[in-house]
Amino acid sequence: MHVLVFGRTLPTKKTGSLGLFEFEQAGVLAAYAKVGYIFLETDSILTTRKIRKINENYRGIDTVGYYFPLGRSLGSLYSQVRFKLFKKLFREYRAAYGKPDLIHVHFPTMILTDEIIDFIREQGIELVLTEHWSWIKEKKISEEQAAVLKHAVSAAKTTICVSEDLKHSIQELTGKEGGEKLRVIANMISDEFFQPYEREKKQDDDFVFTYIGSLKELKRVDLLIRSFQDLFQNKQAVKLNIVGDGPERKTLEGLVSRDCKDQVKFRGSLPKDQVFEVLTGTDVYVSASHYESFGVPFIEALAMGIPVIASSNMPIVIYLDDSKGVIFEDGNREDLSRKMNYMYENIDNFEHQQVRSGIFEQFNGDQLARKLMAIYEA
């Protein structure tokens, strides 16, 4: 079987996690099928600086992609130009690597148009979708995006949702179009997070909390910083790492009190290998996020034996028990402080192997690849 994965962009050190989910899935699928990867990055000139093309074997995957600074402010013209670019992109891939049997699209609401959906089906190619986008759960998508989602789900063989909550939202937005074709399959995590490692030796018996994710309002890093400072201000041995970047960064840096400047460290966006290094020196992973479509950093931490603190509103809570972490009441600053204090005082009760127990079996790439191949071949 020849599977073509269509993602947002090509993951690089510059793009961080953007495109990473879809490209890594292409990598694990390559053990079971012929796999290619295409992308069409058409963001504004502020992010996509110049027109360029890629056609190469990238990290073992035949890859074709375009960078074309366009921007969504063009309205209907945006969809028209994106469709023309997609046709050119697809034909270039087909000429170089052959016609795929199936196209697997990630973040379909974000990257598809009605014209692209129809074009794929006209080629006699089956369509499988995986939706990850948290805005769908929050129903923050536009009417136009909701219409694309409904069209895509109707045309697809199967639509995979990364959590039950996301599935329910897609059902509400698409009505009968989804039906039994909607499946829940959790995201995979990279193999390096399952490997044995020696926990970093910290100076002066530091105790370290870490958050990983974008710095935007939905993630509520402001709540995390305030809860941390309420409890640990002037306890210099207790640290908070904030890994990631985004529009709220300057505001969040301004929330850090003078007394906590040495305790709260903004590390910016980091490549995956450096994220792993940060986690090796972490005692507890914590996020105050109101919602995630899945929550990959939680699973990465658990895979490494690091207990977590999560909001009661997060999909991740179905994987947690008393051996793996604690849950705080969504949005409750005082309860988050209490749970951080509990973890600080009781960290010795969280045994490394118990935290990791069952995580590999549920979230390794080979297990995901087998599930996807069963869908493709059905």
One-letter amino acid for residue 231 of the chain: L
Q: Residue 209's closest CA among 118, 299, 308?
A: 308
Whether 239 contacts 209, CB under 8 Å: yes
Q: What is the predicted pLDDT for the residue at 220?
A: 95
Residue 164 and residue 287 in one domain? no
Name the pTM for this structure.
0.88
Whether 244 contacts 214, CB under 8 Å: yes
Residue 29 and residue 68 in one domain? yes
Residue 156 and residue 22 in one domain? yes
Residue 70 and residue 137 in one domain? yes
Distance of CA 270 to the CA centre of its chain: 14
Q: Would you write out the chain's pLDDT as a tens digit for each of its 378 residues?
A: 999 999 999 887 666 668 888 999 999 999 999 999 999 998 755 555 678 899 999 999 999 999 988 766 667 788 899 999 999 999 999 999 999 999 999 999 999 999 999 999 999 999 999 999 988 987 889 999 999 999 999 999 999 999 998 999 999 999 866 667 899 999 999 988 998 766 655 555 789 999 999 999 989 999 999 999 999 998 999 999 999 999 999 999 999 999 899 999 999 988 888 999 999 999 999 999 988 888 899 999 999 999 999 999 998 899 999 999 999 999 999 999 999 999 999 999 999 999 999 999 999 999 999 999 999 999
Domain that holds residue 137: 2-189+363-377
Q: What is the predicted pLDDT for the residue at 291?
A: 81
- Provide the token pair at 69: 């600074």
Residue 263 and residue 170 in one domain? no
Q: Residue 193's closest CA among 304, 40, 337?
A: 304
- Phi/psi region, residue 55 (left: phi>0; alpha: psi -120 to 50; beta: rest), is beta
Dist CA 289 CA 293 (whole Å): 11
Number of separate domains in the chain: 2
In the chain the beta strands, taken as DSSP E runs, fall at: 2-7, 34-41, 52-58, 61-67, 102-106, 126-131, 158-161, 182-184, 207-212, 238-243, 264-268, 284-286, 308-311, 325-328
Q: What is the predicted pLDDT for the residue at 14?
A: 67
Burial class (CB in 10 A: 0-12, 13-18, 19+), 81: middle
Residue 35 and residue 145 in one domain? yes
Helix then strand count (H, E) for the chain reads 15, 14
SS3 307: coil
Residue 48 and residue 197 in one domain? no
SS3 8: coil
CATH label of the domain that carries residue 347: 3.40.50.2000
- Beta strand 158-161 with 52-58 is unpaired
Residue 176 and residue 250 in one domain? no
Residue 143 and residue 215 in one domain? no
Residue 88 and residue 10 in one domain? yes
Residue 34 and residue 172 in one domain? yes
Residue 301 and residue 178 in one domain? no
What's the angle, vertex CA 120, arms to CA 119 and CA 124, rounded to 5? 110
